Amino acid sequence: MGTPEDLALGGWDISSASLADAADRAGVLEPDLRRQLRPHTGAMVPLRGAYDPSFIADNQAPRADHVMPDGWSKQRRLDALRGDIRDFKAASGVDFVVVVWTANSERYSEERAGLNDSADALLGAIARGEGEVSPSTLYAVAAILEGCPFINGSPQNTLVAGALDLASRHGVAVVGDDFKSGQTKMKSVLVDYLIGCGVKVKTMVTYNHLGNNDMYQLTDGVMWKPKSAAKSRVIDDIVDGNGVLYAPGEARPDHVVVVKYVPFLGDSKRDVSEYTSETFMDAHYTTVMHNECLDSALCAPLILDLALLTELLTRIDFQVGGAAPSPDAPYEPLHPVLSVLSFYMKIPLTPPGEPIVNSLGRQRAAVENLLRACVGLAPESDLLLETKCVPARGGGS
Amino acid sequence: MGTPEDLALGGWDISSASLADAADRAGVLEPDLRRQLRPHTGAMVPLRGAYDPSFIADNQAPRADHVMPDGWSKQRRLDALRGDIRDFKAASGVDFVVVVWTANSERYSEERAGLNDSADALLGAIARGEGEVSPSTLYAVAAILEGCPFINGSPQNTLVAGALDLASRHGVAVVGDDFKSGQTKMKSVLVDYLIGCGVKVKTMVTYNHLGNNDMYQLTDGVMWKPKSAAKSRVIDDIVDGNGVLYAPGEARPDHVVVVKYVPFLGDSKRDVSEYTSETFMDAHYTTVMHNECLDSALCAPLILDLALLTELLTRIDFQVGGAAPSPDAPYEPLHPVLSVLSFYMKIPLTPPGEPIVNSLGRQRAAVENLLRACVGLAPESDLLLETKCVPARGGGS
Amino acid sequence: MGTPEDLALGGWDISSASLADAADRAGVLEPDLRRQLRPHTGAMVPLRGAYDPSFIADNQAPRADHVMPDGWSKQRRLDALRGDIRDFKAASGVDFVVVVWTANSERYSEERAGLNDSADALLGAIARGEGEVSPSTLYAVAAILEGCPFINGSPQNTLVAGALDLASRHGVAVVGDDFKSGQTKMKSVLVDYLIGCGVKVKTMVTYNHLGNNDMYQLTDGVMWKPKSAAKSRVIDDIVDGNGVLYAPGEARPDHVVVVKYVPFLGDSKRDVSEYTSETFMDAHYTTVMHNECLDSALCAPLILDLALLTELLTRIDFQVGGAAPSPDAPYEPLHPVLSVLSFYMKIPLTPPGEPIVNSLGRQRAAVENLLRACVGLAPESDLLLETKCVPARGGGS
Amino acid sequence: MGTPEDLALGGWDISSASLADAADRAGVLEPDLRRQLRPHTGAMVPLRGAYDPSFIADNQAPRADHVMPDGWSKQRRLDALRGDIRDFKAASGVDFVVVVWTANSERYSEERAGLNDSADALLGAIARGEGEVSPSTLYAVAAILEGCPFINGSPQNTLVAGALDLASRHGVAVVGDDFKSGQTKMKSVLVDYLIGCGVKVKTMVTYNHLGNNDMYQLTDGVMWKPKSAAKSRVIDDIVDGNGVLYAPGEARPDHVVVVKYVPFLGDSKRDVSEYTSETFMDAHYTTVMHNECLDSALCAPLILDLALLTELLTRIDFQVGGAAPSPDAPYEPLHPVLSVLSFYMKIPLTPPGEPIVNSLGRQRAAVENLLRACVGLAPESDLLLETKCVPARGGGS
């Protein structure tokens, strides 16, 4: 498995700032550290981004000083992105490239038959310059066509059906959607815990505020919609999976999700959650939680983990044929939609027919047990049965 | 498996209050409900308790109006308790009795060679009337000798080595120690989550306050000692098991445990926890949590679960001999120390050689996977590999 | 001064529920208490309300079963309300009537020259049946014309210029606007405290949620607008008054106000506030607060206090003429806009030229010092100078 | 009035670290800032401290590398401190010196007739080398004998009766005890607010933790006693002063004060408070608050304020003789015990007969109104009566 030391970094941005200048602007790392890093990051300037103002908030326009020319067609942009990937690979000498979307949330693209519902439709739409092909989808298509896995760290529908079809056709892995780093992750742990203990969650009121540029962009209501949807769905399977506490047809817990932009806070992200539950004899159980962390510090390690694990997963083949396959059963790679990485994503993308699992514990077990299988261990049952044998009995009393 | 409807309830108390009067005194349930229950609970008066003022706080003396005579020897008390169990079984007509210690925390008993380090030593000590045999140990011995499983819901060392030896000799199940219902449970979830995500917990500051009689008893420092120890140890294995974050020899997280008696609050238990952690680039991650619930409402369902599961576990036999035992390998019951119920206990008691697991997720998986095995299912791997096969590939692009 | 025992209660509602039935529907008081009160409240049925669906949310329509006929003109409604007040006074035998608006928030009325900018314009608009005369303004006008003080406990602009003009003309007291009971009140205390200590508040993020009918009504965005404005303005004078911390022209603190409807919680109101401030050497000071209380229990006592104090204030005359008026200077009542009751209101209404004071401490001092004056005491200086004299000196050392 | 720019700083410490080294050790200020300050602070080395290990915790011994020789008598230490003050004044050229105790909490000194109950007894005890004369009292006596006001920023009884007597004899101002900067200050605001609104506080549960050297010292139980007492008394007068809510003889609110040492946190002080109150119809009102700030950043500005205000107060004389003194009534300085600075102190020291006021609002008003008096303004009544006159009436309706 690769390590962070094996990585070479490159990328695109619609801002021309070098990594050093961007770090100064963001003010997340301490001044001393930034000063020490500048010799390394001062010359790292991103490639020009594929900017389409109809997909992100107007308030980003002042940053967009480093973009492909307005006149370029979607096809030309796609070709340029593919060239960028090839150039990066050649220049850096790496064996394998993973493309990760870490940029702002876009608005949703429209999904429509004939437009983006198959690989061919999508490629055709790009060729025709259809307005509803988003920049992020362009990057995804470029990556797939170059044989590079693509990971969508934002909530919009970058991976439209046509993009998934293209990924399947080329056998290229994709992971989606939206990095799960903060309150949503904690929520999936807490709600899973409470419901797993037989405590019936009745309200989940979750507030969030920070002041970085990502959040600034979300003050545009259209951009907020995908993010809001991503945050809202995260406990659905946990609630729906517990027919004892929540009878079919019974009302779901009241669920509030609010995110606010508070400029002074910069990258310091604060969230407050309140859960009110019913336990034994309908007694109320109220939980209030406040978290504070740097948004970037929560997110950056996910990017590294995802890149390293994705590369590893592309090298796994497994034998098809049930619990006891015949020795000559074929080996196959994992489905291109890498649902085993759901642990990292707010709205896990799964292969057709696979249920979405939001319980963080179950998501973690999936990664752990797959890696155990790779080294020849059975899944972790936590039973420790070998220690539970009765000792040899002594005589009676 | 039994259900709550199958249960008959009986027990001892050092207070003579009927269940109806005790409920009025506690003021936990609403007046309307208590009034409706009185016809059922007004006549339910506990049996006389085996009271030893050297083991609980002096402030309990005013309640102790319903106790075996001072003059009775330990042996006579033991015999009386055994008789009570037999009488209850006969009168109620139940098939199976489980004895659960739900009373106040006692102080620690001294453990000493020849006193209580073997079944014979312990029985001898009782016969001799040794002062260090606690009331709870008397109840445990009575239960074991009557073939009834014993569950210790408080933190003191009721299950001294001699009691465990006795349980083994008679093949009677025991579960220990201290119900895990509130802050400690939540802590094991949160710390497990944070560390499992690569977040390095550096401080755990946990405060607790309430005003019921249990807490009042703990204001006596001697009684607080076992409780404090129980609360402090709960994350040890989670931290120690992560050699990446916590190098051997490295300082453990700062850990503060405070419990305070606040009379006005009665059974309303409030806890506050603050966790400060280091994440990517040493960024600080601060989590503050406040919980409020009725202490009894958190604890009562554990008692029911434990009684029902314990009964079930005594009926499980498993084949010894590793992953692929020979068809005629012997079947054996579980070890009398029912570590599979660690999910419910603050300081899980395990058979010799079995490591203590405090991660609530792993504890839950143990119960779940044992029950799966009972119905012929493999342990849950959460892999869903069957849905991860590559679909038949279409033509290339 | 009157006491609560002196009060007789009456009023209007658009719902026909008796006080007993309304209390059952609200579920705020405990069942036992409601049962004991029913003999007194079962027969207390409100008078028919002046309902105008264009001023409150559509979701209130199902409750509106007890309203003046649709066909009644505004003038007829006004006349009916005046008759109701006279009838109540006669039937109850009270000396003095105070009318308090405790109903839902309405949307804003349009304010326009010739429509409601003078007493005559407003009375004319009512006579003509102008759509922009809100129900609450009708009640206010009815009260004023009957010589009864009117208190507006909601945030809408009931007391348009024309209503204030009418109050002046008749010398009838009015108090506005919006009861200040919960988070807003606490905010004015905390911010006043922090700024008063030289701590520079930079962000105020305030969230609120509950599930009663008042909140349900506010889910309609149009109704939320006045409430939001009322909550936002509350610290303006505190910030603006401190030129040391906030230079003229400098950015004001980031201020977020969110209110959410969470049906399960009913009348249980929870608020969360986070304040981030800068103190010495720009160190950050972060305060997070969570409150839980019954919304009604916070609000009901304000209504009693306001009614009793308003009556008292109408009996105060003071001598005009500065610090040392001549003995024969005239005595005058207080200005009809009773700004001395700002303590109770989110957006205190003041006489023309009087600055709005939001500091709760200063508002409280105003009440206290006025009452001190009534019994002949000087304003409280808190100096205790009489105890600060140097004792007679002894000999030197 | 002086400004911070007018100040010259000097002082004693039992550690030899320069201000620059001490700042590095404390790690409170950012590295960049410390680097910029070192040219100024690197050469600032404190004078040798009067160290007496019987008065502070043993854990401070490793820091005590810069102390007056063990063999020096108390009298010699006192003389040396007086000399230090004179030298400082001469070298710095300042007009006026204020001595502020900002060091660790000491244990209580015994107070005993003949030992320290009068100026003469205290001076005699020093001359005889009595063990119960604490280092802080030595500094206080040195300051008073040099005519310099002394401020005690810690909770121990530095200002024994003999020290107060000495201050009176010399007409030198003293201020005590214990800086009020964090949770205690906030508590006096919140409780004052709640009770002032008619909300009956029933529990105050207040937890505190941090990891600086001050806190480390308090882990010694003997040192903790004065601090605990200081924190506990702070709301007494607020509760006792409200006979409506708390009848004489009625139980006071449950009050818990816990402080814990959490090394990892360093100077980052966190406090959690929970208040449970009863409001209208006995509804519960629960408030939970969490604060985080640098302990030093809260405390340092108090030191500056106190020094500057104390100097100003020594220059105020007021005319004795009641509200309307005769023109030739004598002018006198304030009593040497400067209770007007109670705003800054946890356990305000007052002249004999003056009640202790803990309400922060009243304490602030005292400072404000005294300063108003100095510029010829009446106390602030907050009445704004001049704007409350009735406008000239127009014609009737």
Tokens linked to C139: 């009640």
Whether residues C260 and C326 share a domain: the answer is no
Domain annotation covers residue D396: no
In C, residues 21-40, which contact D (CB 8 Å cutoff)?
A: 29, 33
**pLDDT at residue D329 above 70?**
yes
Q: Which of B178, B12, B174, B185 is nearest to B105 (CA)?
A: B178
Closest approach of chain D CAs to the CA of B183, in angstroms? 16
pLDDT of residue B106: 94
Whether residues A239 and A264 share a domain: the answer is yes
How many domains are there within chain B?
A: 2
Mind listing the pLDDT tens digit for each residue in A65-110? Answer: 999 999 999 999 999 999 999 999 999 999 999 999 999 999 999 9
The CA distance from D261 to C271, in Å, is: 31
Domain annotation covers residue C326: yes
pLDDT of residue C321: 67
Nearest residue, CB atoms, B288 vs list C31, C32, C288: C288
Q: Which residues of D are catalytic?
A: 178, 227, 269, 346
**Residue D221 forms contact with B (CB below 8 Å):** no
C149 and C314 Cβ atoms separated by less than 8 Å:
yes
Nearest residue, CB atoms, C391 vs list D168, D382, D388: D168
- Cβ neighbours for B241, distance < 8 A, ≥ 6 positions apart: none
DSSP conformation class of A266: T
CB pairs under 8 A between A and D: 8
**Residue D262 forms contact with B (CB below 8 Å):** yes
Whether residues C211 and C162 share a domain: the answer is no
Mind listing the pLDDT tens digit for each residue in A201-238? Answer: 999 999 999 999 989 988 887 878 888 887 777 777 78
Asked if C384's CB is within 8 angstroms of D379's CB, the reply is no
Please give the residue that has the higher pLDDT: either D23 or B182. Answer: D23
Look up C225 and say whether it is catalytic.
no
Look up B346 and say whether it is catalytic.
yes
Of C74, C227, C237, C295, catalytic:
C227
CB pairs under 8 A between A and C: 64
Closest approach of chain A CAs to the CA of C41, in angstroms? 29
Nearest residue, CB atoms, D205 vs list B209, B253, B292: B209
Nearest residue, CB atoms, A264 vs list C265, C276, C290: C276
- Give the residue from A236, A269, A295 where a domain finishes: A295
- CATH code of the domain containing C250: 3.30.360.10
Whether residues D224 and D257 share a domain: the answer is yes
Whether residues A12 and A154 share a domain: the answer is yes
Which residues in chain D are contacts of B264 at CB distance < 8 A? 202-203, 253-254, 276
The CA distance from C354 to C338, in Å, is: 11
Residue whose pair of structure tokens reads 């009035």 in the numeric block:
D1
DSSP conformation class of C250: S
**pLDDT at residue D104 above 70?**
yes
Please name the residue of chain C whose CA is at the shortest distance from the CA of residue B286. Answer: C286
Query: CA B229 → CA B108, B235, B253, D189, distances in Å?
Result: 11, 12, 16, 37
Mind listing the pLDDT tens digit for each residue in B19-29? Answer: 999 999 999 99
Closest approach of chain C CAs to the CA of D58, in angstroms? 31
Neighbours of chain D (3+ CB pairs under 8 A): A, B, C
**Residue A211 forms contact with C (CB below 8 Å):** yes
Asked if B280's CB is within 8 angstroms of A300's CB, the reply is yes
Neighbours of chain B (3+ CB pairs under 8 A): A, C, D
Terminal C-alpha separation, chain B: 58
pLDDT of residue D181: 87
Neighbours of chain C (3+ CB pairs under 8 A): A, B, D
Tokens linked to D295: 């302990």
Asked if B397's CB is within 8 angstroms of A170's CB, the reply is yes
Domain annotation covers residue D397: no
Mind listing the pLDDT tens digit for each residue in C99-146? Answer: 999 999 999 999 999 999 999 999 999 999 999 999 999 999 999 999
Whether residues A16 and A125 share a domain: the answer is yes
Asked if A387's CB is within 8 angstroms of B351's CB, the reply is yes
Which residues in chain D are contacts of A30 at CB distance < 8 A? 30-31
pLDDT of residue D8: 96
Domain annotation covers residue B395: no
Nearest residue, CB atoms, C369 vs list D339, D360, D382: D382
Q: What values do phi and psi take at B143, rounded to 5?
A: -60, -50
Whether residues B173 and B152 share a domain: the answer is yes
Closest approach of chain B CAs to the CA of D253, in angstroms? 8
pLDDT of residue A381: 82
**Residue C254 forms contact with A (CB below 8 Å):** yes
**pLDDT at residue D361 above 80?**
yes
Please give the residue that has the higher pLDDT: either A392 or B274. Answer: B274
The CA distance from A324 to A317, in Å, is: 16
Which residues in chain C are contacts of D369 at CB distance < 8 A? 381-383
Domain annotation covers residue C306: yes
Which residues in chain B are contacts of C284 at CB distance < 8 A? none
Which residues in chain B are contacts of A285 at CB distance < 8 A? 291-293, 297-298
Q: A358-378 burial, b if ≥16 CB within 10 A, otherwise e?
A: bbbbbbbbbbbbbbbbeeeee
Q: How many CB atoms lie within 10 A of CB B120?
A: 14
Please name the residue of chain C whose CA is at the shortest distance from the CA of residue A277. Answer: C264
Mind listing the pLDDT tens digit for each residue in D112-167? Answer: 999 999 999 999 999 999 999 999 999 999 999 999 999 999 999 999 999 999 99
pLDDT of residue A322: 63
Whether residues C319 and C358 share a domain: the answer is yes
**Residue A82 forms contact with B (CB below 8 Å):** no
Please name the residue of chain D whose CA is at the shortest distance from the CA of residue A288. Answer: D288
User: What value, to the nearest 5°, has the Cα angle with vertex D205 and ends D204 and D206?
Assistant: 110
Strands D150-152 and D174-175: parallel
Asked if C265's CB is within 8 angstroms of A211's CB, the reply is no
- CATH code of the domain containing A306: 3.40.50.720
**Residue A205 forms contact with B (CB below 8 Å):** no
Which residues in chain A are contacts of B352 at CB distance < 8 A? 391
Q: Where are the alpha helices (DSSP H) in chain C?
A: 19-26, 31-41, 74-92, 119-128, 135-145, 161-170, 183-196, 213-218, 221-232, 236-240, 295-313, 360-374
Asked if A279's CB is within 8 angstroms of B292's CB, the reply is no
Nearest residue, CB atoms, B332 vs list A168, A387, A389: A389
* Range in A302-316, C256-270, D318-332 with the lowest mean pLDDT: D318-332
Span B297-318, average pLDDT = 95
Whether residues B283 and B195 share a domain: the answer is yes
How sure is the predictor about A394, in pLDDT bands with cuts at 50, 70 and 90? very low
Asked if D300's CB is within 8 angstroms of C280's CB, the reply is yes
DSSP E strand stretches across B4-52: 12-13, 47-48
Nearest residue, CB atoms, C285 vs list D287, D293, D363: D293
Domain annotation covers residue D289: yes
Please name the residue of chain D whose CA is at the shortest distance from the CA of residue A35. Answer: D32
In C, residues 131-160, which contact D (CB 8 Å cutoff)?
A: 145
- Give the residue from C266, C295, C324 where a domain finishes: C295
Long-range Cβ contacts of C20-29 (<8 Å, 24+ apart): C20/C44, C26/C212, C26/C213, C26/C266, C26/C267, C26/C296, C27/C266, C27/C267, C28/C266, C28/C267, C28/C294, C28/C296, C28/C297, C29/D281
Whether residues D125 and D216 share a domain: the answer is no
Mutate to test the interface with D, among B232, B275, B276, B285 (most CBs of D within 10 A): B276
Residue whose pair of structure tokens reads 């979300």 in the numeric block:
A218
- Give the residue from B295, B317, B334 where a domain finishes: B295
Domain that holds residue C143: 1-180+296-390
Decide: helix, strand or coil at residue C355. Answer: coil
Query: CA A79 → CA A72, A138, A173, C320, D19, distances in Å?
Result: 11, 10, 20, 85, 62
Nearest residue, CB atoms, D287 vs list C291, C333, C361: C291
Domain annotation covers residue C144: yes
Closest approach of chain B CAs to the CA of C273, in angstroms? 14
Whether residues C225 and C201 share a domain: the answer is yes
Domain annotation covers residue D142: yes
Please name the residue of chain A whose CA is at the shortest distance from the CA of residue D287. Answer: A288
Which residues in chain A are contacts of C260 at CB distance < 8 A? 205, 256, 258
pLDDT of residue C289: 97
Tokens linked to D335: 């009593």
Strands D268-278 and D284-294: antiparallel
Mean pLDDT split into 10-residue runs, chain C, 397 residues: 93 97 93 92 96 94 95 98 98 97 94 96 98 98 98 96 97 95 88 91 95 89 80 78 87 92 95 96 95 94 96 90 74 92 93 86 91 90 75 44
Tokens linked to B163: 């009691």
DSSP conformation class of B107: P
Whether residues C190 and C290 share a domain: the answer is yes
